[in-house]
Amino acid sequence: MQQYFIDEEIHSGEILDLNEEILHHLLKVLRKDSTYTFRLCDSSGTFYHAHLIDKKRCEILDRLEENNELDCDVTCILSLIKSDHFELCIQKLTELGVNRIVPYQAYRSIVKFKDEKKLDRIRKIAMEAAEQSHRNRIPEICAVASLKDLEQYRSRNNYICYEAEKNVASLECDGSVTYIIGPEGGFDEKEYEKITEMGYRSVSLGKRILRAETAAIYFTSNIVGKCQ
C-alpha cells in the first residue's frame, strides 16, 4: 500500500487538500481513484488510511497504531563517494531505519557537494525510501560535515569502521549510536587518528576489504540487528 508523508497533523474524519506531488503520483503515475486506499503519515509520525474523494482532496479514515522505528537513535556519518553509490546508501540506510545521515567530506573523498541541489536530491531519495518502507519518520539529512564537525554528532556509542583494524569488537547500541563509514580509498591516517581522539572506537568489518557502499549497508545491518 502506497504511503505519503505530509507536513501537518491530521485526524480521522478530516477532509484534506493534498499537495500537487502526491496528487500527481496517485492520479497520473498509479492511476488510482476513490476505490484505492493509501496511507498518510503526519507530522507527529502517526499513520492513517485515506482515500480520494475528488481530484484534489482525500478523506482521512482510521488511525493505525504502528511504530516502525528502531529502539535506539542511529546516526551514520557517510563519507562522500561516487554519486550513484552514495544515493544507493541513502536509500538502503533509510530502509534499514537510520535516523540521521551526515554526508562527510573525508580527506580522500573525490566527490564534492557544490550546492544545495544535491542535498535536496538525496533528501527526496530518503523521503521516497521512508515511504516505501512504511517508516514513521524521514531520516534527517544533515549539511555536509568536515572533520571538525564530527565531534558534535557523537552518541552514547561511537564507532569508526577502519579497514586496517584487526580486532572485531562487539557492538553496543543501547540508547544511541553513531558510526563513520570511509570513502573510496579509506581514511587518511592522520584523519583516522583525529577521529579516534574524539572518542570514536575503531572496529573491523572482517578480513575482506569492502567497497564503501557495501561497508555502509553491512555495518548498518549489524547495528539494526541489535536495535530492533
Which residue ranges form the domains of the chain, and what is each CATH number? 3-64 (2.40.240.20), 73-227 (3.40.1280.10)
At 35-85, the pLDDT tens digits run: 899 999 999 999 999 999 998 999 999 999 999 999 999 999 999 999 899
Residue ranges of E strands in the chain = 3-5, 15-17, 37-41, 47-52, 57-64, 73-79, 100-104, 140-141, 157-161, 176-181, 201-203
At 168-202, the pLDDT tens digits run: 667 877 889 999 999 988 899 999 999 999 999 99
pTM: 0.91
